[in-house]
Each structure stands twice: as structure tokens, then as C-alpha cells.
């Protein structure tokens, strides 16, 4: 391990911009990569250097390992930060970085094979005595593998190599299985370069609660609290917050203990997130997966802890110890994040790419906006529809909701449709305000 002086960011959009900002604070040079369609994206404009890596399709650009490695070598980058999505949880990419002497800012390939792959992660958690949902033990190749088994419908097909709701399908009966499996495998292959999927018993009413962890190479493992990510649409998180008021202090401690147990049991290093489903009666919880990367919703944790997770990722990758101990971490206030997508809620959330005429972000005390867009930017149709995140912090949940509502109402975007009206509707809903919701609440409400 060595001092990192230049980082190539193997990603795009708001996460690339967010990484660039921390690198600038740390005095680290940045190299952005962009597809031909992304030449005017903010991340390509803000980096110290920017290099085109191919045409718009992700398979020919952001998922092309050879091209990314070549770009890092030619620009003499010490390290690569993968962000989230694309190759962020691809063990082969980590191995290539290691072979070329490039530091990968994230866990080891071995960690990733165990926990970044959702199938292996389930098996590992189960071996450590952590409760998991019933499901298939390995990759699912054909429908007969499930229909001949003992699992009852409904079932959930999940991509083994990624998250973000991609490669996921609910199957209610045997007749739906073949098409759902085909679609899930195709979507997973396109999003992550790996089409393998597995199946779990589908739990209809639950809360999605996750624990943020940080671990260094010296056996120091920390949790940074939990996040509630239960407001979802088609398994895509829309609103995330911390702390989670739904679970008790006793259950929180159990979730923290199991998250730490997983890290210890696998020798995990760097940032990661352990995800659980909690039943609505608060009687039990289940491990569902580990994200071996930084997550979209990491800013809410940063807001209440004051810890820059990207900075800690870089320091750990340099071989340094974590600067903080568990006893040093305090949680202040309540934070909520709203994901703003270029979609039209009134037309079944159809993507809404195109030219942004006006883009005026909100501001003020306790308000943060992570985005890569600006007035005059053309949102491309080839990638995820996320165009920005509004993150707020209040003294308590009620104040945070009010602050987020005010911020979104002053976020002016014209030229394309966005999900801001939907988020304002959610924030005004009495059930959301009272905390009476689950992972299917939004779809049932609509």
C-alpha cells in the first residue's frame, strides 16, 4: 500500500462528482472517464483530467475493464475508485487492478467474491449464524431448478452481482417464472456484466434497514448507525433516512452486532453496508445482502456523524488506520435523502431524458445537493435516471421532513420531468409523517 496521489474514477454522474470533491480537499488529482454521450457531464468538467473511454452503451465504456485499466495506466493513476453500480462489485475488476499495481479503493477481490456476490453473501451470513430468508443455494439457470424445490410463491428473483433494484423480479406463480427469469438475467447482465441470479422467498410487508460499516486492515471495525430505506418503488429506494425510528434500541444493537460479526468473519476491509429486512411486528429480522461499496444513500450517514466516508475509503486503501473509534462516533439530529430522477410519475415513471433549460438547486443551513447536472445540460437516455439527491439534516425527524419539503419545493428544474412532485406528495402524506409504511407502501398507495 502506498500514498495515493492520483485517482481515476471509474464511474459517472453524481457519485463521480462527489468523489472528485473529497479528492480536491485531500490534494489528490483526479482523472474522470466519460462516454461520448457524457462529454459535457459535470464530472468530466470538474476533474483535473478527463478521458473518453468509448461510445454511449455502458458495455462499451463504463463496463469495459480493459479500457478503464488502460486509461488508469496511461494517465499514471495510483488508484481507481469505482463509485457504485457498474463495476463497483466486480471481483475480476479488482483482480485486474491488483495485477497492474493499481490500488482499488474498496474491499479485496476475496471480500467481494464472498460478500459482493449476493449468493455467496447469503451462504456466508448463514454460516455465521445470522438469520437469512429461505432461498436457492446457488445461481439459478433454469425454472425447473425452482419449480422442483420446496419454496412457495411469491418469490423474488435477484441479481447476484449488484443492487439498485436491477435484475429483480417478483414471481407470483409458476406461469410467470420463465419470462421473469429471462428478463432478470438480461437486465443483470446489462447493468453489472454478470447475468447470474438467485431466488428468495418474497416477504411482502417489511422494513428495509441497513447498517453502514467501516473497517481497516488492522482489525478495527466500526458501525456508523443504521438507515431506513423502506420507501421504494419496484425495489428502487426513493427516500432514505437515519436514524430509523421503527426499530427499538435493543434490535438496533443486534443489527450492529451482526453487521460487525459479518465483517470480522470475512476479514472485510473498507466501506460496506449490511442490509436487513425487519418484519412489521418487530419480532425478527433477516440478512438480505451486503453492498461491498459506497452506497447512493451514504450522505445521510455523513450528515449525522460528520464523517466523510469517501475520505475514509481512501485512507484505508492507503493502509492507514481508521482515525476514529466506536466511542468517538456520535449521532446528531435526523437526516433524510430524496433521490431525484429524470422520470415522469404521471406516465408510469417513463424516463425523461433531454435538455435541461433551468436547473436551480436549493440551499441553506443543513441542506446538501449532490448532482452532476446544470442549466443547459442534456440528460442522456442511456443510463440510470438519477440526476441528483437532496439531503437535509434537522434536529429531529419532524424538522427534517419540513426542511426537505421546503428544499424540494425550491428545486427548480425545467425542460424535463422529474420525480420531485411525487416526493413532495410522499412527504405530506400522514402515513409517512407518522412512520407507518413498509417496502410496498408506495405501490399500494398508488
pLDDT by 10s per residue, the chain, length 446 = 689 999 999 999 999 999 999 999 999 999 999 999 999 999 999 999 999 999 999 999 999 999 999 999 999 999 999 999 999 999 999 999 999 999 999 999 999 999 988 888 999 999 999 999 888 777 777 665 555 456 788 898 988 876 667 888 989 888 898 899 899 999 988 888 888 898 888 887 899 999 999 999 999 999 999 999 999 998 899 999 999 999 999 999 999 999 999 999 999 999 999 999 999 888 899 999 999 999 999 999 999 999 999 999 999 999 999 999 999 999 999 999 999 999 999 999 999 999 999 999 999 999 999 999 999 999 999 999 999 999 999 999 999 999 999 999 999 999 999 999 999 999 999 999 999 999 989 888 65
CA distance 242 to 209: 10
pLDDT of residue 124: 94
Contact 130, 108 (CB under 8 A): no
C-alpha gyration radius of the chain: 21
Q: What is the pTM of this model?
A: 0.91
The DSSP result for 143-201, as a single string, is THHHHTSSPPSSEEEEESS--TTTT-EEE-SHHHHHHHHHHHHHHHHHHHS---EEEEE
The DSSP result for 20-46, as a single string, is HHHHHHHT-EEEEEE-GGGTTSHHHHH
Of these residues, 169, 293, 315, 368, which one is catalytic? 293
Q: What's the burial of 387, exposed, middle or buried (CB within 10 Å: 0-12/13-18/19+)?
A: buried
423's grid cell:
416526493
Instruction: State the residue for C-alpha cell 437486465.
Output: 187
pLDDT of residue 142: 66
Residue 441 host element (H or E): helix 441-445
- The three-class DSSP label of residue 275 is strand
pLDDT of residue 106: 98
> What is the number of residues in the chain?
446
293 catalytic? Reply is yes
Q: How far apart are the first and last CA of the chain?
A: 51
List CB contacts of 171: < 8 A, sequence separation 6 or more. Answer: 153, 154, 155, 156, 157, 177, 180, 199, 202
- The three-class DSSP label of residue 308 is coil
Q: Helices 309-317 and 298-305, interaxial angle, to 10°?
A: 100
* DSSP code at position 360: E
204's grid cell:
411482502
pLDDT of residue 148: 47
CA distance 120 to 109: 13
288's grid cell:
438480505
CA distance 397 to 373: 29
Helices (H), 193-294: 249-266
> What domains appear along the chain, each with residue ranges and CATH number?
6-105 (3.40.50.20), 134-201 (3.30.1490.20), 206-445 (3.30.470.20)
Phi and psi at 351, nearest 5°, equal -55, 145
CA distance 105 to 210: 22
- Find residue 355's DSSP bridge partners: 378
Of the candidates 79, 24, 61, the residue with the CA atom closest to the CA atom of residue 46: 24
348's grid cell:
408510469
Phi and psi at 35, nearest 5°, equal -80, 165
Amino acid at each position: 500500500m502506498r500514498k495515493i496521489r492520483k485517482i481515476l474514477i471509474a464511474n459517472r454522474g453524481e457519485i463521480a462528482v462527489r468523489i472528485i470533491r473529497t479528492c480536491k480537499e485531500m490534494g489528490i488529482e483526479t482523472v474522470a472517464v466519460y462516454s461520448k454521450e457524457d462529454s459535457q457531464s459535470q464530472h468530466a468538467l470538474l476533474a483535473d483530467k478527463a478521458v473518453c473511454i468509448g461510445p454511449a452503451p455502458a458495455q462499451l465504456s463504463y463496463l469495459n475493464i480493459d479500457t478503464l485499466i488502460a486509461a488508469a495506466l496511461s494517465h499514471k493513476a495510483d488508484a481507481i475508485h469505482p463509485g457504485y453500480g457498474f463495476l463497483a462489485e466486480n471481483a475480476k475488476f479488482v483482480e485486474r487492478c491488483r495485477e497492474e499495481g493499481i490500488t482499488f479503493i474498496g474491499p479485496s477481490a476475496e471480500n467481494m467474491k464472498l460478500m459482493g456476490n449476493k449468493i455467496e453473501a447469503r451462504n456466508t451470513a448463514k454460516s455465521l449464524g445470522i438469520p437469512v430468508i429461505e432461498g436457492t443455494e446457488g445461481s439459478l439457470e433454469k425454472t425447473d431448478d425452482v419449480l422442483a424445490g420446496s419454496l412457495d410463491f411469491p418469490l423474488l428473483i435477484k441479481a447476484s452481482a449488484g443492487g439498485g433494484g436491477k435484475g429483480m423480479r417478483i414471481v407470483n406463480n409458476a406461469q410467470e417464472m420463465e419470462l421473469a427469469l429471462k428478463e432478470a438475467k438480461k437486465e443483470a447482465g446489462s447493468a453489472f456484466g454478470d447475468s447470474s441470479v438467485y431466488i428468495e422467498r418474497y416477504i411482502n410487508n417489511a422494513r428495509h434497514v441497513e447498517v453502514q460499516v467501516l473497517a481497516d486492515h488492522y482489525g478495527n471495525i466500526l458501525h456508523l448507525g443504521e438507515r431506513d430505506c423502506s420507501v421504494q418503488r419496484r425495489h428502487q429506494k426513493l427516500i432514505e433516512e437515519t436514524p430509523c425510528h421503527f426499530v427499538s434500541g435493543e434490535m438496533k444493537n443486534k443489527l450492529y452486532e451482526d453487521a460487525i460479526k459479518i465483517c470480522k468473519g470475512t476479514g472485510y476491509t473498507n466501506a460496506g453496508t449490511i442490509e436487513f429486512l425487519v418484519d412489521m411486528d418487530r419480532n425478527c429480522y433477516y440478512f438480505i445482502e451486503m453492498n461491498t461499496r459506497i452506497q447512493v444513500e451514504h450522505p445521510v450517514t455523513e450528515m449525522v456523524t460528520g464523517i466523510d466516508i469517501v475520505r475514509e475509503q481512501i485512507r484505508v486503501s492507503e493502509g492507514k488506520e481508521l482515525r476514529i473509534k466506536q466511542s468517538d462516533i456520535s449521532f446528531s439530529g435526523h437526516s433524510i435523502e430524496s433521490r431525484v430522477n429524470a422520470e415522469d410519475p404521471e406516465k408510469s415513471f417513463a424516463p425523461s431524458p433531454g435538455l435541461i433549460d433551468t436547473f436551480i438547486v436549493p440551499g441553506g443551513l443543513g441542506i446538501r445537493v449532490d448532482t452532476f447536472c446544470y442549466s443547459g445540460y442534456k440528460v442522456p437516455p442511456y443510463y440510470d435516471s438519477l440526476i441528483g439527491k437532496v439531503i437535509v439534516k434537522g434536529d429531529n425527524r419532524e424538522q427534517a421532513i419540513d426542511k426537505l419539503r421546503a428544499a424540494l419545493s425550491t428545486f427548480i428544474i425545467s425542460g424535463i420531468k422529474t420525480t420531485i412532485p411525487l416526493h413532495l406528495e410522499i412527504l405530506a402524506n400522514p402515513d409517512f409523517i407518522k412512520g407507518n409504511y413498509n417496502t410496498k407502501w408506495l405501490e399500494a398507495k398508488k
